[in-house]
């Protein structure tokens, strides 16, 4: 019988140590080390499934050195989920043997989205839904409330990872959902479920099973108060795809964003609407983010942002008001607040507009968060519009990055953004000079600028 080894893992950062110590050397936290028993891998479960699956040849060659030219380049087949926005975020569908982590706040709709996905997939292939937080009756009630046909979906209420893999070895599902990874536990780890050691070992066991058997595994993960994924950071390195389901509790829209994807584009965005029948995909997100009034208002402008592999039209609003405090406020909702302060300094230095005694508020309509620099010019023009109390034309589109010396820099995929604006009926566009289309676009007047002063003159 193999001798059981021991290790000590920090509950805060996940650092490993061979012996116990009072303080973690990595994160400097005290009394956070927990003993972990490292037993040998069981002969059954995932190992037995490996020997009986078609992936045994790949595992047998793990210890063999081969030339890169000898590796087969056959494209891995993808499986569609039946939900277009989810397939887009995944990069075109599910890849066999991949581990997908879906995180989000409580009530965001993680379990609802996965139950809808499994209802579509069970029509094509064997599927298994493992619930550790809810009872089988609660899941059945949710499926009935959503009107889903889940009569053929196999359900399992279990939290032991070894037992789950043994059951999956018998049913041989192509897709499996683990809801959630925070309640799963491995028998060899002597710590409570939800701890750093248990989450890490459980995820490693399930990921290894997915690779060995070709099963697609969805892992549901909770998030902390600051919005980051609960558990060790190494959890995000184990899996193949990390998705985040975001949305305010008072909003009916949810956004699914990919933070990591080994088989597709990173930062891809999918938009859903929460309705009585669950999450309904929004195939044209620009339409929901452009719900403007009939009459243009000061401080409002439309910009084109690039999310993953597609352009998206979003309205940006600015409010400039006299400050009653010695330190004027700078508030940015949906954008980086530090970049707002920097752009206001550029506007003062190169645009001749001083806002040092004004409160400036910025809001991206629809709850979407803009992380790219292509919204710089739109932000400054919205600030000028609010400060002068003059509305910008309702058919105007703006895009461009603003440099510290007042130059307007080009943005990636500028041609596609301009064409997207033309499709939605916009008649005028202020764009960087380097992004000006070589051929005229019917119905769209393009104003190319390379300095901030030129953009201010254009409005």
Q: What is the mean pLDDT of the chain?
A: 86
Identify whether residues 302 and 159 lie together within a single domain: no
**Per-residue confidence band for 195, with pLDDT thresholds at 50, 70 and 90:** confident
pTM of the entire predicted model? 0.76
Tens of pLDDT, residue by residue over 284-295, are 888 777 766 668
User: What is 119-162 written as a DSSP string?
Assistant: HHHTTTS-EEEEESSS-HHHHHHHHHHHT---TT-EEEE--BHH
Q: What is the pLDDT of residue 40?
A: 44
Residue in 389, 336, 327, 391 with CA at minimum distance from that of residue 358: 327
Identify whether residues 314 and 277 lie together within a single domain: no
Identify whether residues 21 and 82 lie together within a single domain: no
**Residue 170 in this model has a pLDDT that exceeds 80:** yes
Identify whether residues 228 and 106 lie together within a single domain: yes
Tens of pLDDT, residue by residue over 430-446, are 999 999 998 889 999 99
Instruction: Find residue 448's DSSP bridge partners.
Output: 431
- 348: domain CATH number is 3.30.230.10
Identify whether residues 227 and 89 lie together within a single domain: yes
Tens of pLDDT, residue by residue over 94-115, are 999 999 999 988 888 999 999 9
**Residue 53 in this model has a pLDDT that exceeds 60:** no
**Residue 428 in this model has a pLDDT that exceeds 90:** yes
As a whole number of angstroms, the distance between CA 135 and CA 183 comes to: 13
Identify whether residues 277 and 312 lie together within a single domain: no
Number of Cβ within 10 Å of residue 50's Cβ equals 19
DSSP state for residue 424 in the 8-state scheme: T
Tens of pLDDT, residue by residue over 310-330, are 899 999 999 999 998 889 999
Tens of pLDDT, residue by residue over 268-284, are 889 999 888 899 998 88
| Residues sharing a CB contact under 8 Å with residue 66, sequence separation 6 or more, in sequence order | none
Number of domains in the chain: 3
Average pLDDT over residues 354-378: 91
Q: Is residue 240 part of a domain?
A: yes
Per mean pLDDT, which range of 43-57, 138-152, 418-432 is the poorest? Answer: 43-57
Domain containing 18 equals: 1-40
Q: What is the pLDDT of residue 250?
A: 67
Q: What is the pLDDT of residue 118?
A: 95
Tens of pLDDT, residue by residue over 231-256, are 656 678 889 999 999 877 667 888 89
Residue in 8, 1, 2 with CA at minimum distance from that of residue 37: 8
Which domain-ending residue is among 283, 314, 329? Answer: 283
User: What is 247-287 written as a DSSP string?
Assistant: --TT-SEEEEEEEEETTS-TT-EEEEEEETTEEEE-S-HHH
Q: Is residue 72 part of a domain?
A: no
């Amino acid at each position: 019988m193999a001798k059981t080894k021991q290790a000590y893992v920090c509950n805060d950062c996940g650092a490993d140590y061979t012996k116990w110590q009072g303080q973690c050397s990595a994160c400097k936290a005290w009394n956070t080390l927990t003993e972990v028993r490292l037993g040998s891998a069981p002969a059954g479960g995932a190992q037995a499934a490996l020997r009986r699956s078609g992936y045994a040849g790949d595992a047998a060659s793990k210890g063999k050195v081969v030339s890169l030219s000898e590796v087969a380049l056959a494209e891995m087949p993808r499986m569609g989920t039946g939900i277009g926005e989810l397939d887009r975020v995944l990069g075109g569908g599910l890849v066999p043997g991949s581990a997908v982590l879906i995180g989000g706040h409580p009530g965001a709709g993680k379990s609802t989205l996965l139950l809808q996905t499994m209802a579509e997939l069970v029509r094509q292939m064997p599927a298994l839904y493992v619930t550790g937080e809810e009872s089988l009756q609660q899941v059945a009630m949710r499926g009935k409330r959503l009107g889903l046909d889940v009569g053929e979906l196999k359900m399992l209420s279990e939290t032991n990872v070894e037992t789950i893999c043994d059951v999956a070895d018998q049913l041989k599902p192509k897709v499996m959902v683990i809801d959630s990874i925070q309640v799963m536990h491995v028998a060899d780890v002597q710590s409570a479920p939800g701890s750093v050691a248990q989450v890490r070992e459980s995820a490693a066991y399930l990921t290894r099973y997915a690779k060995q058997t070709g099963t697609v595994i969805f892992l549901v993960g909770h998030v902390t108060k600051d919005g980051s994924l609960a558990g060790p950071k190494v959890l995000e390195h184990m899996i193949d795809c990390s998705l985040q389901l975001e949305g305010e509790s008072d909003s009916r829209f949810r956004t699914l964003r990919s933070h990591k994807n080994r088989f597709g584009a990173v930062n891809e965005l999918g938009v859903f609407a929460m309705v009585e029948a669950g999450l309904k995909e929004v195939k044209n997100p620009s339409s929901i983010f452009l719900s403007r009034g009939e009459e243009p208002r000061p401080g409002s402008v439309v910009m084109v942002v690039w999310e993953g592999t597609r352009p998206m039209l979003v309205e940006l609003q600015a409010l400039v008001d006299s400050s009653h405090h010695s330190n004027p406020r700078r508030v940015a909702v949906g954008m980086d607040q530090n970049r707002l302060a920097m752009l206001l300094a550029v506007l003062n230095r190169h645009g001749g507009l001083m806002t040092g005694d004004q409160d400036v508020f910025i809001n991206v309509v629809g709850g979407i968060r803009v992380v790219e620099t292509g919204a710089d010019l739109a932000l400054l023009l919205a600030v000028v519009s609010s400060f002068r109390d003059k509305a910008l034309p309702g058919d105007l589109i703006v895009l461009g990055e603003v440099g510290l010396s007042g130059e307007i820099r080009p943005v990636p995929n500028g041609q596609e953004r301009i064409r997207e604006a033309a499709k939605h009926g916009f008649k005028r566009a202020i764009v960087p000079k380097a992004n000006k289309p070589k051929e005229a676009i019917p119905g769209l007047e393009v104003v190319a600028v390379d300095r901030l002063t030129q953009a201010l003159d254009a409005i």
